[in-house]
Each structure stands twice: as C-alpha cells, then as structure tokens.
Amino acid sequence: MSFFAILIALLLEQARPLARSNLVQGGYRAWTVTVRRNFDAGKAHHGWLAWTMAVLLPCAIVLGLFWVLLQLIGWPAAMLWNVAVLYVTLGFRQFSHHFTHIRDALDAGDEFAARQALADWQQVDASEVPRSEVVRHVIEYSVLAAHRHVFGVLFWFSIFSALGLGPLGAILYRMAEYLSRAWSRKGAEGLQAPTSERLQSAAAKAWYVIDWLPARLTALSFAMVGSFEEAIDNWRVYAQRFPNDNDGVILAATAGAINVRLGGEALRRRDAAYGEEGADAQWESGSDSTPGREPEMSHLRSVVGLVWRSVVVWLLLLALLTFARLLG
C-alpha cells in the first residue's frame, strides 16, 4: 500500500504542486510559534519538552485519523489519507521552479536575474556572486532540498508504514526539519522574545539524529547512479569539512558523482527573513571545497539527472519490496 501511495502522491505533486504558503504550513507554523511562546523557558528540559510538544500533536492527529479510517472504512480510505499526507509533505515542485528560473536566466546570459532569483529563493545576499558560484550554490541548495523534500520523507514514511503506523514518518521528518530551521536563530518566526540556546540545541540535535540515516542513503543513491568511486571517495574524505555533517555527506557524494567542485564561502543571509521559507542549506559558515571541475551549466543538467535517476532507484526498490510482501 505504501508504494502505491507514494507513486500517486508523486504524480499529483508533479501535476499540481501545492503552493509553498498554504493552510497546512500556516497551521503548523502557528502551532510551533504557540509552543515556543509557552514552553521555551531556557532550561535544557524545556527545550526538549517544547520540541516534543511541537511534534507530538501533528503526529498524533495524523496517526489517529489513519487508524480511524482504517478501522471504520477500510484500507482504501487509509491509503487515500496516506496520499494526502504525502502530497502535503513532499515538495519536489516547491523548489524546482526556483532551479528552473535560475537555470533559464543563466542560459539567457542574464546573470543579474539569476542572482536575484537565488537571493529570493534562499533569502541571501547574492548581488556580487560570480556566475560559477551561482551555479555552485544552486546545485548545493537543490540537492539538499531534494533530499529533505523527497528522499528523507520517503524513507521515514516507508519505515513507519511498514510498522503499521501509516504516514506518521512523513510528518515526523518534515516537522523535525522545519523546527531545525524555525528555531535555529533568535529572531525566528517573528517573536519578540529570543529563542533560547537550549531550544535551538534540542531542535538541532533531534534533526541530526532523525536525518542521519536518510542523508547517508541519499548519498549512497547518488553514488550508485553517478560516478560511484569518486562519490564514495569524496564522502569518506570531504564530508567532515562541511559545517553540517549530514549535509556534508550528501554534498560530498554529489560532488564526486558529477565531478563538480562544491563547498566554499557561504552567502550572507537576510536575517529578517530567516526561519520562514528559505534556508534549505542552513549554512552557518563556509567550508573547504571538494575537488572537481568548476561549476558550469552542464552540471545543472547533470544534477537534475542525478536526482531523477535516484528517485527511480528508490521507487524500484520500494516496488520490489511491496510486491515481495504481497507475494509472501
């Protein structure tokens, strides 16, 4: 059932992508603001209590509805609920139009428009970024967005679905990712009271643990469909040089898989907008560069192929596991 729910949700998301600012996102943003306002008292246990509360209620609602539908109506209704949750949590098309806009601007030789599109996408200052660095940042942001909006969601959805917990994994993963961004700086979410360091730490640690295995499976899939030896070698040697270990694994493997230089100086953020829609890469500082060719337009086409081939590999694997379970 999980494979068919994933396939239908992916097709729906491609045909009619959900707007990034929607009622569901607005609802859990308001919920996290309420939780932070009432539970962030500055102590270590307050940080973990706030994180648990912010994640627990959405997960409980999603799981409760899944069980009610399964028991009262049957598996078709439960599968439709799985599709609905995946449709909301998957976000392939939520970032792909940014990628396309920047790529088209660079193809047309309009570097100003490309820089502006990059700045609007990630809420950064890209006014003086050279062309090759625009390409590099687009690749980095795009592969991390693909991981967080697609591969990570699919992984945890499949695990919890196999355990009979329906779409719980998809909500857990996306909530953890959102909280790691929304609570990562003092001015996040428009609250006057600053986010305590304890709350920031709890959100970051929880996200690191939840994303540890999906990040490595995404990197492995990139290696499998790209240049395997170079991707694994980069993973082994360069992953630790990135500010975030999980992100570093993905970026190092990507660099090797398509032979491109990634890593380097970070872009300065527009602080007022942080914590809302941008910040997919969440750079806190720069990093050492990986070996590889200077980023160029051909690498943008290569990274699109890398991501789509990986999606196909994941779907084939899920299909095999589903049919094996049905036959067994």
Give me the tens of pLDDT residue by residue for the chain, a chain 328 residues long. 688 999 999 999 888 887 767 788 888 888 888 888 888 877 778 889 999 999 999 999 999 999 999 999 999 999 999 999 999 999 877 788 889 999 999 999 999 999 999 998 888 888 888 999 999 999 999 999 999 999 999 999 999 999 999 999 999 999 999 999 888 765 444 444 557 888 888 999 999 999 999 999 999 999 999 999 999 999 988 877 776 789 999 999 999 999 999 988 777 666 544 444 444 444 444 557 888 899 999 999 999 999 999 999 999 999 998 888 778 6
Q: Within 10 Å of residue 23's Cβ, how many Cβ atoms?
A: 9
Strand partners, 268: 125
Give the CB-side neighbour count of residue 110, counting CA atoms within 13 A: 11
**What does 206-267 look like in DSSP terms, one character per residue?**
HHHHHHHHHHHHHHHHHHHHS-HHHHHHHHHHHGGGSSSHHHHHHHHHHHHHHTB----PPP
* CA-based nearest residue to 31, from 59, 64, 6, 12: 59
Distance CA 243, CA 155 (A): 24
Distance CA 324, CA 328 (A): 6
Total number of residues shown for the chain? 328
**Tokens coding 36:** 């932070």
Q: What are phi and psi of 269, to 5 degrees?
A: -90, 155
Please state the pTM of the whole predicted model.
Answer: 0.89
Domain that holds residue 287: 2-327
H or E stretch including 126?
A: none
Angle at 321 between CA 315 and CA 323, to 5 degrees: 100
Distance CA 154, CA 226 (A): 21
pLDDT for the residue 187: 47
How much is the CA Rg of the chain, to the nearest whole Å? 20
State the total domains in the chain: 1
pLDDT for the residue 26: 84
**What does 183-197 look like in DSSP terms, one character per residue?**
TSSTTGGG-SSPPPH
Q: What are phi and psi of 268, to 5 degrees?
A: -80, 135
Q: What are phi and psi of 44, to 5 degrees?
A: -60, -45
* CA-based nearest residue to 54, from 218, 274, 212, 203: 203
Burial of 17 (0-12, 13-18, 19+ CB in 10 A): middle
Amino acid at 201: S
pLDDT for the residue 271: 52
**Tokens coding 78:** 């439960």
